[in-house]
Structure 1
Amino acid sequence: MPCYFLSLFKIPASVAAKIERLQRDFLWSGVGEGKRDYLVSWDVVCKPKANGGLGFGKIALRNVALLGKWLWRYPREGFALWHKVILGIYGSHSNGWDANTIVRWSHRCPWKAIAQVFQEFSKFTRFVLGDGERIRFWEDLWWGDQPLGSQYPRLFRVVTDKNSPISSILGSTHPFSWNFNFRRNLSDPEIEEFEGLMRSLDCLHVSFSILDARSWSLSSSGLFTVKSFFLALSHCFGSHPVFSTKCV
């Protein structure tokens, strides 16, 4: 398996099909010559063992999981040369953690394929609150099962700065100063939603001496693993390709 190339480049569909054909032929090589009757469909063979398959997995999904490794490493290796090169070429994402994922189609480089994985990768990441300097209050997943902007959409619509970090809203003292910066007075439904938000944040604790961190929700250690990402993709997408940009 060419894992090195799969971890840097998007595999062409034709190449993935050829590799899977070799796997199928190897699996059923003892059936005999002539037309072969496969006792189990290839989609079933590719399912994880926990779901009744053999765990072969789709090549395209394994490719996506390997590319996701770089999205995890990027904010953790800020002093590495490759990080500085990517940052210099593409700039920073609005979340302050990742590189810009908007890559011009004229660019023929590994980061183009890696950037396409960001949408799926971000579904399984969440943030661990420290000093609140790098986590966005409304748009990052750090409190509850959804970003606060999704939990409280009425409030999110009337916020002046949707990218505000937690520290700018809470302040640096306890009790918190709560500087939300709504662009107008709240209506009755918005006030009701605001009261629900304040009740939810009643037990919030900020550690000003600890830096914010990003956690991988699919592992107990909070650290990214290619295997966990691959299994999650296999469960979510089955036989459907993740790179769907050409279908749009």
Structure 2
Amino acid sequence: MSLYLLSAINPTKRVINLLHRIFAKFFWSGNRGERRKHWVAWEDICFPKKEGGVGFRTLHGVTKALFSKLWWRFRVSTDSLWITYMWNKYCKKQHPVIAGARGASHVWKKIMEMRKEVEQEIGWQIKSGNSSFWYDNWTRKGALYLTNEEDIEVQMCINNGEWDKEKLCELVSEEVVVQIIKNIKLNVRQDEVGQPWWMLNTSGIFSVKSAFEIVRDRKPQQDWLENIWLQEIPFKIIFFPIEGRKWENCNGGQSKKYEGIASFKMLLL
């Protein structure tokens, strides 16, 4: 299956769950493909080892990460026919950060859903100051548009290469002004437009892997789970202590049916 299709068709939860069922049958089957018991639900496997999984990724999370990439491209690219078309259709009268999805295609609706989760991770380097003062995250603390929706550029608050404190005070609170002047050093370059920066990577370049980490489901980390991954123990047997821990937590350690599994977990520790 080509994963890029997940960013083009936005499959329903039912379709993804059917695919997960196929993955699970393959994972738990024997050498000849015979049917075997599924010791752990596929959804529980798809977590990092410290969270009680194997490290697989759910297609739900992968789909979200791929649509996050579409939002990144839409926000930062200007040389794409697709972006030009989507911009003219949905953002001609509004900034993308506040554009709506009513009556839109299923792809745009999914992109808008991911906007809520990843937009705050896109920072903007000021450069010539052409970034939107209210809607672009040039402060690296989040966009300021909740305060005001009048669209102006950052360069309106710069005077001779320095922050214009009086102008800033007209727009935002004094506390925000202090943070801007203290933390954001200007290096104005009139010949360069503001550049986007993916704040989850030191290189500033977007990656689906880093996006997946912020959109995936999570469980509390438990250090003991890393200790059970031993090369000498068959892979599928390792799930026994994980299941034993679940039943301990659910039944207060009183379940006789799973007492052996819980004891096996203690031996591994």
TM-score scaled by length of structure 1: 0.71
Structure 2 partner of 1:113: 110
* 1:123 is the counterpart of 2:147: no
Structure 2 partner of 1:142: 138
Unaligned residue ranges in structure 1 (runs of 5+): 151-155, 240-248
Cα 1:25/1:76, change in 2 over 3 Å: same
Structure 1 position 13, deviation (Å)? 1.0
For 1:8, what is the secondary structure of its paired residue? Answer: helix
Structure 1 partner of 2:189: 208
The two structures, once aligned, show a CA RMSD in angstroms of 3.3
Higher CA-based Rg: 2
Structure 1 partner of 2:26: 26
The amino acid across from 2:164 in the alignment is: S
The amino acid across from 2:142 in the alignment is: P
1: CA distance, partners of 2:169 / 2:21: 58
For 1:69, what is the secondary structure of its paired residue? Answer: helix
Structure 2 partner of 1:245: none
Structure 2 partner of 1:166: 154
8 Å contact kept, 2:29–2:35: no
For 2:10, what is the secondary structure of its paired residue? Answer: coil
Cα 1:6/1:48, change in 2 over 3 Å: same
- Once the two structures are superposed, residues 139-161 of structure 1 have per-residue CA deviations (whole angstroms, 9 ceiling, x without a partner) of 533335x23749xxxxx85x7x6
2: CA distance, partners of 1:195 / 1:85: 37
Structure 1 partner of 2:254: none
218, 221, 225: which is aligned to 1:238? 218
Structure 1 position 66, deviation (Å)? 1.0
For 1:214, what is the secondary structure of its paired residue? Answer: strand
Cα 1:72/1:50, change in 2 over 3 Å: farther
Unaligned residue ranges in structure 2 (runs of 5+): 220-269
Cα 1:63/1:195, change in 2 over 3 Å: closer
Cα 1:9/1:174, change in 2 over 3 Å: same
8 Å contact kept, 1:8–1:110: yes
Structure 1 partner of 2:66: 66
The amino acid across from 1:208 in the alignment is: R
Q: Which has the larger displacement, 216-225 or 83-92?
A: 83-92
8 Å contact kept, 1:7–1:66: yes
The amino acid across from 1:36 in the alignment is: K
2: CA distance, partners of 1:65 / 1:89: 24
